Amino acid sequence: MTIERSDFSRSGNVDDPDQTVAGGVFTAPAVSVSRLTLTEFRCFPQLRIVVGPEPVVLTGPNGSGKTTVVEALSFLAPGRGLRRARIDEVARWRGDGTAPVPWGVAVRLRTADGLAEIGTGRDIAALGTTARERRVIRIDGQPARGQGALAAVLGVAWLTPEMDRLFVEGASVRRRFLDRLAFGMEPAHADRVGAYERAMRERGRLLRQRGHDPTWVAALEDAMARHGVAVAAARREAADRLTMIAGCVRGPFPAATVSLEGAVDGWLDRQPALACEDMLRGTLARGRAADAETGGACAGPHRSDVIVRDAATGRAAGLCSTGEQKVLLLAVVLAGVRAQAAARGSLPLLLLDEVAAHLDARHRSALFELVGALGVQAWYTGTDQSLFDPVSGKARFLTVDAGRVTPSDDGR
């Protein structure tokens, strides 16, 4: 493997490990895609895109496949991608609806350690042999055991139009948003959340059964207490980091604050984690009868909310205009990119679906400037190519149409 150091030159001084997020300027080597190959992925039977380390601008008419390309890239992170699709949903629909269709996404990446190849997709051969269909992962040609292995190679951050509803929907989407950012900083967070949710589901199932074994319920409550307090503590740390980093950025993006509201979060304000575990264990034990009725769990980090505010005014994002919410959200996502870079030592891919169209000219040019200064490989999508004029010459422009991706006509 050879390290293409020149690829990182835009990212600043990679020889100085002491450079941090101070002043809002972070320098770290960027992980970037050099080649993307899609097979039977949504509207693309077969697609290959070769790009440099600079940002990519995908433009084309509605329904041409722009979001599909960035969604494919989002499958390089653990989880269900930026549309939270099921594994069978993204397989190209062939109209007959009979045989399951295998699909694949493969990339060649430039990383600080040289080139890496990652592939993921649906393995038809494994169908029927496992209880739940899982994505298969290959890293440098070798099968990887879990999706967590992807996180060791690269980070992926995104902002999509669906996330515009983040501040008006229920708290679970905001928790998932913060969890993804926390997970970008510390991959182990995903395992903690998974372990907590499994214990909670199992306890709920047991409590609904007549004559359940209280020892087994207590063991599950113990697991919920340990993992739950760890989840809350990691979220809190992520929120503090995001607030600190978002507060350093100068320019038209607002300094956003991120905080948590919930019983366990309140306990953590006043008590050490071990005491909070005891409190959660006790609360769950006392709540068994009520939880057996409702099928839920009366306390835990699954009941917390994530509050984003404009630091200057103190106004909660839920009270802001749609455009102001978008700008706050973008500020938090960009803080997440910097936090990931600081924690991992490399910048993630940044997928920005239809973001430029929702920003005014001032915020749009500030975004382009920030992305340029970070040196992150951003993948922008939009229907209107002229919105991206400010990055002409600094980004690779591609046109998506009728299942094909070609260099944009004017050769930008």
Ligand X SMILES: Nc1ncnc2c1ncn2[C@@H]1O[C@H](COP(=O)(O)OP(=O)(O)OP(=O)(O)O)[C@@H](O)[C@H]1O
Interface residues with Mg ion (CB under 5 A) are: 67
Beta carbon of residue 70, minimum distance to Mg ion (angstroms, whole number): 8
Report residue 93 as tokens: 């629909």
Beta carbon of residue 377, minimum distance to ligand X (angstroms, whole number): 19
Residues that bind ligand X (CB under 6 A): 42-43, 60, 62-68, 90-93, 383
Beta carbon of residue 62, minimum distance to Mg ion (angstroms, whole number): 7
Write a three-state SS string for 266-328: HHHHHCCHHHHHHHHHHHHHHCHHHHHHHCCCCCCHHHCEEEEEECCCCCEHHHCCHHHHHHH
Of 198, 193, 218, the closest CA to residue 284 belongs to 218
Q: Give CA angle at 342 (340, 343), nearest 5°.
A: 65
- Give the Cα separation of 279 and 273 in Å (integer): 10
Of 303, 297, 296, the closest CA to residue 265 belongs to 303
Q: Give the rounded distance of the alpha carbon of 55 from its chain centre.
A: 18
Of 231, 192, 223, 212, the closest CA to residue 288 belongs to 212
- Residue pair 231/196 in contact by the 8 Å Cβ criterion: yes
Query: Closer to Mg ion at the Cβ: 196 or 388?
Result: 388
Query: Closer to Mg ion at the Cβ: 24 or 81?
Result: 81
64 binds, among ligand X, Mg ion, none (CB under 5 to 8 A by kind): ligand X
Beta carbon of residue 67, minimum distance to Mg ion (angstroms, whole number): 3
Beta carbon of residue 71, minimum distance to Mg ion (angstroms, whole number): 9
Side-chain half-sphere of 299: how many Cα atoms within 13 Å? 22
Query: Closer to ligand X at the Cβ: 313 or 383?
Result: 383
Query: Closer to ligand X at the Cβ: 99 or 131?
Result: 99
Beta carbon of residue 123, minimum distance to ligand X (angstroms, whole number): 17
Query: Closer to Mg ion at the Cβ: 27 or 67?
Result: 67
Query: Closer to Mg ion at the Cβ: 40 or 354?
Result: 354
Query: Closer to Mg ion at the Cβ: 63 or 272?
Result: 63
Of 374, 358, 355, 366, the closest CA to residue 390 belongs to 366
Q: Give the rounded distance of the alpha carbon of 411 from its chain centre.
A: 32
Beta carbon of residue 146, minimum distance to ligand X (angstroms, whole number): 25
Q: Which residue is nearest to Mg ion (CB)?
A: 67
